[in-house]
Amino acid sequence: MLLVVRDPIDVEAIAESVRAPGYGGVVTFVGLVRERADDGRDVDGLSYEAHAAMAVERFQRIADGLRERYGQLEVAIVHREGELRVGEVAVAVAVAAPHRREAFAACADAIDELKRDAPIWKKEHYRDGSERWRENAP
């Protein structure tokens, strides 16, 4: 499951999509819209814009690279686009591996690589009415 979606993300469905009998560890990361920006300003919500086809291609390259580094894995990455409010799920990553160490490490690498390389852009909307495009930072 490698997707860019406009509808709310079903985290349980994403975790379930990577489960398999040979995998003893499933790790999920869920990125939520926070109420406070890194600079301390109150956030009302976020807007995400994505080049969806390119983002999904990048998600596939991330998954392939994880398998090269960690071996047998199942990987799911789903990112929202559009307008999101505080508390909503912006991104979910799930990784299943035969053992927990690989699952944890691969999940951490996946979100870092996504933040660094995926063609997805974020605009913060502040409670004072201002807004600003932000760089993704791994």
| The pLDDT value given to residue 2 | 98
Residue 8: pLDDT over 60:
yes
Q: Rounded to whole angstroms, how far apart are CA atoms 138 and 134?
A: 13
Residue 62 has pLDDT above 70, yes or no: yes
CA gap 119, 138 in Å, rounded: 14
pTM above 0.85, yes or no: yes
- Find the range with the poorest average confidence among 20-24, 80-84, 94-98: 20-24
Q: Which is it for the CA torsion 11, 58, 104, 29, positive or negative?
A: negative
Predicted pLDDT of residue 135: 75
pLDDT higher than 70, residue 137: no
CATH number of 2-128: 3.90.1170.40
For residue 138, the model assigns a pLDDT of 57
The answer, yes or no, to whether residue 114 has pLDDT greater than 90, is: yes
Per DSSP, 42 falls in state B
Mean residue pLDDT across the chain:
96
Q: Which amino acid is present at 43?
A: V
pLDDT at 122: 96
Task: Please report which confidence band the pLDDT of residue 43 belongs to, taking 50, 70 and 90 as the band edges.
Answer: very high
Q: What pLDDT is attached to residue 20?
A: 93
Per-domain boundaries in the chain: 2-128
Supply angle C-alpha 83, 86, 87, rounded to 5: 110
Q: Average pLDDT of 14-38?
A: 96
Long-range residue pairs from 128-135, CB within 8 A, at least 24 positions apart, any chain? 128/41, 128/42, 131/47, 134/37
